[in-house]
Amino acid sequence: MTKSYSDKNVICNDSTNPAFSQIASAINLNLSRRSLLTGSGAAATGLLLAGLPDLASAAAQSAARAGKALKPAALGFAGIPLSDADTVTVPAGYRAQLVNAWGDAVGLAGNLPAFKQDGSNSFVEQMAQSGMHHDGMHFFPLPYGSQNSAHGLLAINHEYTDDGLLHTDGMKTWTAEKVRKAQAAHGVSIIEVKKGEAGWQQVLPSSYARRVSTLTACAISGPAAGHALMKTVDDPTGREVLGTLNNCANGWTPWGTYLTCEENWNGYFVDWSNNMKPDGFNAKRYGVKEKDAGYRWAEHDLRFDAQLNPHEPNRFGWVVEIDPYHPDSKPVKRTALGRFKHEGAALAIAPDQRCVFYMGDDERFEYIYKFVTKRPYDAKNRRANANLLDEGTLYVAKFNADGSGEWLELTHGKNGLTAANGFADQGELLVKTRLAADHVGATKMDRPEWTTVNPHNQGEIFCTLTNNSERGKEGKPGPDAANPRANNLFGHIMRWVEAGNNPAATTFQWNILVLAGNDKAAKDEHKGNIKGDVFGSPDGLHFDANGLLWVQTDVSTTTLNKKEYAGMGNNQMVAMVPETGEARRFLTGPRGCEITGIAFTPDHKTLFVNIQHPGEPDSERNDPANPKAISSWPNGALGGRPRSGTVVITRDDGGVIGL
Ligand code: FEO
Ligand code: CA
Ligand code: CA
């Protein structure tokens, strides 16, 4: 996202809980080097197969016990070079087609407004069109319960708006209509897609088509629903909120619902006085400030004036469950999963069929969480799972320097999470999840983004830590075992295996899979044992059913212009084989974009990927009239405005993607 709109410069965590930075870095680096010498296979550029526990082996043994012996996948495509071209490039034998972009009609019957290249669509039209800045995404086969790989629904997040592009004259004037249009361009689109002779296309109209935006009524459920901290003048029940926003990464459930995750929600509120109020935790620990991040909603929508509505911010920062198969169903904010800057929610299923969701809190020095449902899910009765996400246990991760880890429980009455320490009940604890995690001593990480689970064993988890240029700066936590680089411009990927390969376990073993980038620290770890393609700032992450780990990058446009990043090209997508350390570049995006959002059809012969914010400048918002504009993707010179969109990738021979 754009510099001016993002929270990349925000650090809210000045808690004194142990980050073990003082003790760990030397230990970790020594172990890392040893692992390479003892041979975890070839390492790729940017790869560090750290040798804390032999996690790949542990996962394989566990899978073998379960009768699912793992064989490393083999990459079957020719890698592509770095690119600075304003286009999407995929390997020979593959094709990428645009299937949906910002402003395309989602498919509401009798309401199919055409996109206007000059940005003049009204907010009412925008409510029937795809939102801006596509992010997390999932494919749901049609009909429900099938494995249809030629017809289904795409649920697509729209993370934020670039108002310089959204309106004809950008933000030169500022009106209530523009605020409404921006709110309508946030949220989620549900579109129907079908494969035909001309390839994949949207079905228009579609009885499933839907927009969920910041103007859509959502229910609030779970332990914080109805809590005093969730009540407002407009909603004295504390059980209903208008809309969702900053929908970043995603998740899905085994009962066919979509999870959309609210990330940098604080940037929409203004509250110059919050520090002086009892509710000041939103200022101190969540970054609600005197100024917003540039959205200017509060000027025309007092709901976003947190001085007037001090509880309204408490109603954002949640995971929201949407049933894509029922367009009239109400989205539900599931408070049991905690309140922070949610990136995504990756599913694992425990042996007893309880569902586990791994979740990053994407800010510098924030934490990694997981939620374990209280009850198993019922594979035969969809309705029985309707409120499964309302009861369960939330944990936060502590990474010990010896390669062990612990899940610290965030339950009222345990681990000092008592009224005396500021948590009157579970509802308050969840509204203040970050403070609870501080209290139990979670590990401060380098911006946890996506998580993903190896579907073959359910207990091997990966997480991207995208970057943290503040690590090691004066007054900030220094490098530690889990975040080993100061000034971490390029990020890394962490891997852990739950005890017994059971995602409901409370202990784990971890190591670092990848140090991304091209800096000296990464290269020193390779000792010449390099095989693979370079990338930076991993963000999107997906472990597919064939054993490939797909990594999508979000090098910020400010970093793209740093000399340290020279020669590393536009943002991209890489396929990796974790067991062998191979990494191969599969896709490069247009200029100024981030690659994010990944969804396969069940047969893995179709891959959907999102291109977010093509043409993003390194400062301020886009101005389509700027003669220095770097991108007009996807519509070329005629397009006028670059547009975020979904591309669909298939193989010319109809084969499985990546193999
Ligand atoms: Fe919206 Fe952390 O990426
Ligand atoms: Ca992201
Ligand atoms: Ca990112």
Index of the ligand 1 atom closest to the CA of residue 264: 1
Q: Is the CB of 362 under 6 A from ligand 1?
A: yes
Q: Is 159 in the pocket of ligand 1 (CB under 6 A)?
A: yes
Q: 525 is written with which tokens?
A: 């770890």
343 lines ligand 1 (CB under 6 A): yes
Please provide residue 67's backbone torsions phi and psi, each rounded to the nearest 5 degrees: 75, 20
pLDDT of residue 562: 82
Do residues 539 and 552 make contact, with C-beta atoms less than 8 angstroms apart? yes
Cβ within 8 Å of residue 198, ≥6 positions away: none
Distance 311 CA to ligand 1 centre (A): 24
Q: How far is the CA of 450 from the centre of ligand 2 (A)?
A: 7
CA 404 to chain centre: 25
- The contacts of residue 44 (CB under 8 Å, 6+ apart) are 514, 530, 531, 532, 533, 576, 581, 582, 583
d(CA 336, CA 631): 41
Distance 67 CA to ligand 1 centre (A): 37
Nearest atom in ligand 1 to the alpha carbon of residue 135 is: 1
Out of 1.20.1250.20, 2.120.10.30, 3.40.50.2300, 2.40.30.330, select the CATH number for domain 5-93+120-141+154-621+633-651.
2.120.10.30
Taking the CA atoms of 212, 213, 218 and 221 in sequence, report the sign of the dihedral they define.
positive
| Span 418-457, pLDDT tens digits | 999 999 999 999 999 999 999 999 999 999 999 999 999 9
Is residue 305 within 6 Å of ligand 1 at its C-beta? no
- What is the Å distance from ligand 3's center to 554 Cα? 5
- Ligand 1 contacts CB of residue 449 (under 6 A): yes
Of all atoms in ligand 1, which is nearest to the CA of residue 248? 1
Q: Which ligand is nearest to the CA of 596?
A: 2
3-state secondary structure string across 382-409? HHHHCCHHHCEEEEEEEECCCCEEEEEE
For the CA of 360, the nearest ligand: 1
pTM: 0.93
Report whether residue 361 contacts ligand 1, using a CB cutoff of 6 Å: no
> Which ligand 1 atom sits nearest the alpha carbon of residue 466?
2
Q: How far is the CA of 545 from the centre of ligand 1 (A)?
A: 24
Point out the ligand nearest to the CA of residue 557.
Answer: 3
CA of 493 to the centre of ligand 3 (A): 13
The whole-number pLDDT of residue 278 equals 59
Name residues of the chain where pLDDT drops below 50.
1-8, 19-52, 65, 67, 526-530
8 CA distance to ligand 3 centroid (A)? 9
Q: Which two tokens stand for residue 464?
A: 């991207």
Q: Which of 443, 136, 371, 130 lies closest to 262, judged by CA? A: 136
Q: Whose CA is nearest to atom 1 of ligand 1?
A: 248
Taking the centre of ligand 2 as the mean of its atom positions, its distance from the CA of residue 645, in whole angstroms, is 15
Residue 248 Cβ contacting ligand 1 at under 6 Å: yes
